[in-house]
Structure 1
Amino acid sequence: MHCGTTVGVHGILDRHPWLASGDQGELRASVLDLALVRADAHGWHAPYGWQTRAGKKLFRVPDRWLDCDKGGDWSGRNQIGELAWMRADVPEDARQPRLPVLPMTRTLVDALDRVGTVTFTALRACLPLQITAGDATDDLDDMREWFSLASPSVAVDIQVTVSAVLSRAWESPDEAARVRDAVQERLGAAAEAEIASSADISRMPGRARTRSPPEGARRTAHLVCHAREWTPDVAVWLVDVTGDALRATGHSAPVVVTVSSAAPTPGVSRTGGSGG
């Protein structure tokens, strides 16, 4: 098992009045546990496995995941923070082309939606690319067609940042452009990706740090994607596209991909740093 896939949902949570009092830590733990029960009912989550005579642990469906830690911060009021995060086990020998970013994100967002109104600002995912393999083309084609249904008259700027441990692959000054080209190929006409300018980077909103980023990770690529909408599902799509583009360009080390709304949220403050 590889306990290294982490997803964090960032934003502002305005809890329902009837849930605003009491121990927020106890409430958060209870709601996240309930959300995982729902995830299992949907077939998104593997609550247990079993061992062969040789001691190898097996799951009923090989591409499922098992949470190994979770949490979040619901204490801030009108503050952007990491509202909910989850770290999961993924079987190393499953070798699926996509990591379970979508079901993990939906589980967290569903939990947050049950307790209040969420202003979603960013999704951050730690992707252990070394345990993925296979062809995700069909999945990404379907996702692109889905998001192409949104109105083309709407333009939303979304920032996509890749943080990784520096390696020989990132020494080339053209590497970020190669990744951008691979991202654009997967986005098709549904969105447009470009290398972020220095002005884009300087106005990047601060975000709380995610759990357990790769040690020594530094920002290696920063893109601006012009999409048609901003939702958690769009953020998942851009994370999946970026992860697949990195694999296609020869990257197989863990990376952190952060997808965030480029526009600041008026009237709120932010907690935490940019997190690299």
Structure 2
Amino acid sequence: MTVGAHGILNRHPWLESGDAEEFREQVMDLALVRAEAYGWHAPYGWRTPQGKKLFHVPERWLECDKGGDWAGGDEVRELAWMRADIPEDVRHPRLPVLPMTRMLFDALGRVGDVAFTALCTYLPLQITAGDASEDLDDMREWFSLASPSAPVDVHVTVSAAPTAAWDAPKEAARVLTAVRERLGTAAEARMPSRSDAARLVRRGTSGELLQGTRPMAQFAIRAREWSPEVAAWLTETAGDALRATGHASPAVVTVSSASSSASHQ
């Protein structure tokens, strides 16, 4: 599984000196310390020397690679990303989208001001199983508490390898129905206009995460707020909607702010 945080980072002035690349690596290492503080991260692998499995808990993962682009300037970049190993035999309905997202933004927010524009997540849906409806209900109730007076437009793109399931002319609409069921009244979802869809194709970065993919479904979401947590919620919602409609192969879900996409093409 991979989570990538996109945006613009303005480092605090008192942290500007020194080697930028070395400093970035230090911050990413501290992000893992933060994950351990939350009790999320599995830092020592999945087995003891005797072969006993450790951390057989769905909310934990083993970090296997990480990085980010801190070149600076006003251009949107993939500021931080992390790739993690998740045991296939966990068989839990939820992947650690929110923990990994929160960890990355805890680290970025500690060293500067972040203008968050998008979250791009590789979801190994083939290892998920079970019913996540109660957790998604809780998430929906959480985000429904935000004020509805200043809604924001959000783009969601699902990219996957072409399969026979996606050949059905109304397959994207079927997934959209499942997304709407999971959003309830906390957010609205619709098919984007043709111009929005074209922008989503240009904006997407899924090819770097999953080779041989192309956009299969694109949705325009009217949410009550924009934040990394909202993006994680919409990512999980899209992933669960895919599972519910029979799509059990890996997919990349990109959630981006409509205003930032228009400003940084």
Q: Give the TM-score range, shorter chain.
A: over 0.9
Q: Deviations over 1:148-174 (max 9, x none)?
A: 001112211100000000000000110
2:219 partner amino acid: L
Q: Which amino acid aligns with 2:63?
A: D
The farther-off stretch of 169-178 and 15-24 is 15-24
CA distance in 1, matches of 2:71, 2:207: 18
1:77 aligns with 2:73: yes
Does 2:102 match 1:106?
Answer: yes
Cα distance, 1:212 vs. partner?
A: 4.9
CA distance in 2, matches of 1:200, 1:122: 16
What is the 5 A alignment of 1:167-186?
167-186=163-182
What is the deviation of 1:35? 1.3
Partners of 1:37 and 1:211 lie apart in 2 by 30
Which among 134, 145, 150 is matched to residue 149 of structure 1? Answer: 145
Shift of the 123–86 alpha-carbon distance from structure 1 to 2, 3 Å rule, reads same
Matched, 1:165 2:165: no
CA apart distance, 1:61: 3.6
Kindly indicate which of the two structures has a greater share of residues assigned to strand: 1
Task: Return the match for 2:53 from 48, 54, 58.
Answer: 58
**Paired residue secondary structure (1:144):** helix
Contact 1:7-1:123 within 8 A present in 2 as well: yes
Matched, 1:137 2:170: no
Is the deviation greater in 161-170 or in 197-206? 197-206
Matched to 2:105, the amino acid is V
CA contact 1:97–1:136 (8 Å) conserved in 2: yes
Structure 1 residue 119 corresponds to structure 2 residue 115: yes
- TM-score, scaled to structure 1: 0.90
In the other structure, the counterpart of 1:273 is none
Query: How far does the alpha carbon of each residue in 1:175-221 deviate from its partner, in whole angstroms, 9 at most, with x for none?
Result: 00000000000000000111111121234495573685222000000
Partner Cα separation in structure 2 for residue 166 and residue 235 of structure 1:
25
Aligned residues: 263
Deviation, 1:125, is 0.2
C-alpha contact (below 8 Å) 2:157/2:204 kept by paired residues: no
CA-based RMSD of the aligned residues comes to 1.8
Q: Does 1:220 align with 2:216?
A: yes
Structure 2 vs 1, CA of residues 210 and 86 (structure 1 numbering), >3 Å: closer, same or farther?
A: farther
Q: Provide the secondary structure at the position in 2 that maps to 1:202.
A: helix
- Contact map agreement 2:56 2:90 (CA 8 A) in 1: no
In structure 2, the residue matched to 1:90 is 86
Give unpaired runs (5+ residues) of structure 1.
271-276
Q: Supply the AA of the counterpart residue of 1:236.
A: A
Equivalent position to 1:21, from 12, 17, 41:
17
Going by fraction, where is helix more abundant, 1 or 2? 2
Opposite residue 234 of structure 1, the aligned amino acid is V
Q: TM-score, normalised by structure 2?
A: 0.94
Structure 2 unaligned runs (5+)?
none
Does residue 232 of structure 2 align to residue 229 of structure 1?
A: no
2:219 paired with 1:253: no
Distance 2:41 2:246 in 1: 29
> SS in structure 2 opposite 1:14?
strand
- Contact 2:206-2:254 at 8 Å conserved across structures: no
Change (3 A) 1:20 1:242: same
Which one of the candidate residues 192, 196, 201 is aligned to 2:192?
196
Give aligned-pair identity as a percent. Answer: 62
Instruction: Report the CA distance shift for 1:186/1:254 in structure 2 as closer, same or farther (over 3 A).
Output: same
Mark the CA change 1:32 to 1:89 in structure 2 (over 3 Å): closer, same or farther.
Answer: same
What amino acid is aligned across from residue 75 of structure 1 in structure 2? A
CA change 1:208–1:215 in 2 (3 A) is: closer
**What is the DSSP-based 3-state SS (H/G/I as helix, E as strand, rest coil) of the residue aligned with 1:240?**
helix
